Amino acid sequence: MTTQRTATLTVGDKAVDFPIMSGTHGNDVIDIRTLGGKTGYFTYDSGFLSTASCQSKVTYIDGDKGELLYRGYPIEQLAENCNFLEVTYLLKNGELPNATQKTDFEKTIKSHTMVHEQLTKFYSGFRRDAHPMAVMTGVVGALSAFYHDAMDFSDSEHRNISFNRLVAKMPTIVAMAYKYSTGMPFMYPDNDLDYTSNFMRMMFGNPCEKYQPNPVLVRALDIIFTLHADHEQNASTSTVRLAGSSGANPFACIAAGIACLWGPAHGGANEACLQMLEEIGDVSRVGEYIKRAKDKNDSFKLMGFGHRVYKNFDPRAKLMGKVCADVLGELGLENDRLFKLAKELEKIALEDEYFVEKKLYPNVDFYSGIVQKALGIPTEMFTCIFALARTVGWMTQWEEMITDPEYKIGRPRQLYIGAARRDVVPLAQRG
């Protein structure tokens, strides 16, 4: 990174220079950290659309090219050649593991898959019909009450332990949230299985029968995990960083990230996509809803199409589209009503001039929701699956932040537009 060039801002008759910083890829940024002190002004950037909140080595997105890199590696190559725990190791450590490192890391994660038995009693405090993300927020936040032995986050070993615990326990916690909602007994981890097979067993197995993972379905879910592992400085990741900037423990920070992810404009998008398909109901009604989507006066929105960052095709969506075809073929669901409807919507979005012109291509949420439904995952659990995968990115970003010598507690400024200063009138004199 270089800071040799400067940008000049003229305020009144005063010109002030600010360094221009360049990264490996992407837009250069103007370093305005001294703006307030030099000029008495702040910048206004609602939604932080033009603001770099941090320096990061983890993930890079080029929205115009439709490119997503984890530690420099294209997401397509990682999804094709690596499993989720290899990608987890990469995000955490900056490099892909060799064979020995992969084996050791998988063994370490497996050693942390169990949760404290007392934690399982937290579930009974929720109604059976509680949304699983409400349960997740509470249970993950409660982890900090059980693991006091590694809370010195200036110690790299303590950070590693917290990372491993969260990555290992998240599948157990998610599966328990599902089992609780169905009234079925919890399934404890089986560490003879790999990470994703173990999760599917805890989700869909029962104590009465031997669970046999289907390798096609396991691979599909493993790819979903990889595609959702990190996505730069999105809303939930920024939430985790902001919470962590105060020195909060990582369990609390991840709980904050889960709460943010729950929003329908973020992690809840794939859930909203399936709800939209149910609303449309049948292929015969697609034309009607496409027309509504084009009508600017109609509140209906076609969920699962377009993306805030990608101005081209979401690279994850291309991968997910192939996975979707593999899963539907494996399960013989090509002619299922909902899936035929989804394929018709996909066809129109890729061919219709309106959608092509506005680049409203199917995004990863569109396909991942279909795949998860085909796998038997209930719609209300979709965002929990997202949170499971994104925990890896959240923890990586959290550690990067707290080990950054320049990091400070987050404190955005504001443009105040409320009442001007005024004095309180005694009660008897108020009209």
Give the catalytic positions in this structure.
307, 365
Per-residue burial over 31-66, b if 16 or more Cβ lie within 10 Å, else e, is: ebeebeeebeeeeeeeeeeeebebebebbbbbbeeb
Task: Tell me the C-alpha distance between 208 and 197, whole Å.
Answer: 18
What distance in Å separates the CA atoms of residue 332 and residue 343, rounded to the nearest whole number?
15
Q: Are 306 and 359 in contact (CB under 8 A)?
A: yes
Q: CA 313 → CA 112, 153, 319, 350, 360, distances in Å?
A: 38, 39, 11, 10, 8
- How many angstroms separate the CA atoms of 247 and 253, rounded? 9
The tokens of 143 are what? 């982890």
DSSP 32-76: -TTHHHHHS-----GGGTT------SSEEEETTTTEEEETTEEHH
Question: What's CA 152's distance to the chain center, in Å?
Answer: 26
- The DSSP annotation for 241-302 comes to HHHHTTT--HHHHHHHHHHHHTSTTTTTHHHHHHHHHHHH-SGGGHHHHHHHHH-TT-----
- What is the C-alpha to C-alpha distance for residues 155 and 264, in angstroms, rounded to an integer? 37
Using DSSP's 3-state secondary structure scheme, residue 127 falls into coil
Structure tokens at 63: 């929205």
Please say whether the dihedral angle defined by the alpha carbons of residues 347, 350, 354 and 360, taken in this order, is positive or negative. Answer: positive
